[in-house]
Amino acid sequence: MSNGQAGEAFHETLPTHYYHDPDHYRRELETFWYKSWLCVASVDEVLEPRSFKVVEVGDQSVILTRDQEGRLQAFYNTCRHRGSVLCQQASGSFPSDQIICPYHAWSYGLDGKLERTPFEVPFEAFDAGKYSLYRVGISEWAGHIFINLDEDNADSFDAALAPSMAKMRNWNLDQSRVGHRLVRDVQCNWKVFWENFTECYHCPGIHPELCRMVPYYGKTMLSPDEGKGRLAEGAVTWSIDGKTTLPWFPDLTEDEQNNGHSFGAARPNFVVVGHVDYARIIQMMPLGPETTRLTVDWLFRDETMAHADFDVDKVTEFAALVVEQDAVACELNQKGLHCRRHEAGVVMPQEAGLNRFYQWVHDGLQAAGDGNA
């Protein structure tokens, strides 16, 4: 295997224990998941003042809410008194303009400021202003909410999402909304799914329908030149027959229309795909060393959802089939990684994208001080 020097290609996969060892999983949570912008919810899930949703990232729990002015807020789900969980429900609406700890009833405004400590005994040294809830970076794009647990990186949202924002600019996704959601818990390490997304060496055997839709994929190849990966002649979108009678996004360029699909991604958790008549956002969230939750949202303009021909099952079935095929393949991959003799795999020429992914993992771990990276 490569020794990981800058610019040097990897010819083997990451060490097999990276995919199931609990201690290494914890290192990756600290390195990637607790220091990156993560897509965690749709805006519709926290739409009104006082509405809230609790999201879990590794072993960290975060409250998403809107204050009375409609501004998104995010805080660790932890009371500043003695650390109790604040919200026990996964979602809902606060009954008042306060977040109240269920243990000792410390009360916080929806801006996170400590407002009341009941049964208070005069305590000269106590400064309530120092005990606001722990803030989490929060932003929104394409009808979705993103958070960053690392205060030092909380101002970097635009830079982190810039490539995807630029790629999808003509879809104007902030004018769309979620019309369908698929959630699938895949029994694999999160990196296994990223590896699968990064190569098409598996496509002929796993995705025969997709290879007919995108003939270039049938050659086991992916390319940053999306012109090579255009849809088959006569196809315009990802549907069972490649056709659609639904309205197209009005601002797409001729190339974007001809390609039939455009991709953006931000590691470690986010992929966006634009088609002529709908878009998809895929969130990945590790639930453990060997379980990853996929949340796939289909985004539509109001005009599309009101169209007489709109049939959500028909629109979503092709992409849902591809997701399920990928999930099954990833689970097979994960199960095989428990072979006691398999210390690492090998990267084939068609999988060149894996080398870049492995370098990203290696560089992140090395920067975090992991001497074994």
Strand partners, 296: 182, 282
**Residue 297 to residue 181: CA distance in whole angstroms:** 5
- CATH number at 82 reads 2.102.10.10
Could you identify the residue written with the tokens 């496509």? 203
Domain assignment present for residue 93? The answer is yes
* Confidence tier at 11 by pLDDT (50, 70, 90): confident
H helical segments located in the chain: 22-28, 157-167, 190-198, 203-206, 208-213, 254-259, 302-305, 312-336, 352-367
Q: What is the largest CA-CA distance in the chain?
A: 77
Domain assignment present for residue 161? The answer is no
- CATH number at 244 reads 3.90.380.10
74 and 219 part of one domain? no
Distance from first CA to last CA of the chain, Å, rounded? 12
pLDDT digits (tens, 9 = 90+) for 66-113: 999 999 999 999 999 999 999 999 999 999 999 999 999 999 999 999
121 and 226 part of one domain? no
**Residue 223 to residue 217: CA distance in whole angstroms:** 9
Geometric angle at alpha carbon 339, from 335 and 344, rounded to 5°: 100
Residue 289 buriedness (CB in 10 A; 0-12 / 13-18 / 19+) = buried
pTM confidence score:
0.93
Strand partners, 120: none
Domain assignment present for residue 65? The answer is yes
- Count structural domains, the chain: 2
Domain assignment present for residue 9? The answer is no
Q: Given this model, what pLDDT does residue 10 score?
A: 54
**Residue 61: phi, psi to the nearest 5?**
-115, 135
Q: Given this model, what pLDDT does residue 35 score?
A: 95
Listed in sequence order, the residues at least 6 apart from 25 whose beta carbon sits closer than 8 Å to its beta carbon are: 189, 286, 288, 289
53 and 136 part of one domain? yes
208 and 310 part of one domain? yes
Domain assignment present for residue 123? The answer is yes
pLDDT digits (tens, 9 = 90+) for 215-247: 999 998 876 565 578 999 999 999 999 999 999
Domain assignment present for residue 160? The answer is no
**Full domain range(s) for residue 234:** 171-336
184 and 298 part of one domain? yes
Nearest to 367 by CA among 31, 29, 30: 31
The region, left, alpha or beta by phi > 0 then psi within -120 to 50, assigned to residue 111 is alpha
From 153, 187, 219, give the residue that closes a domain.
153
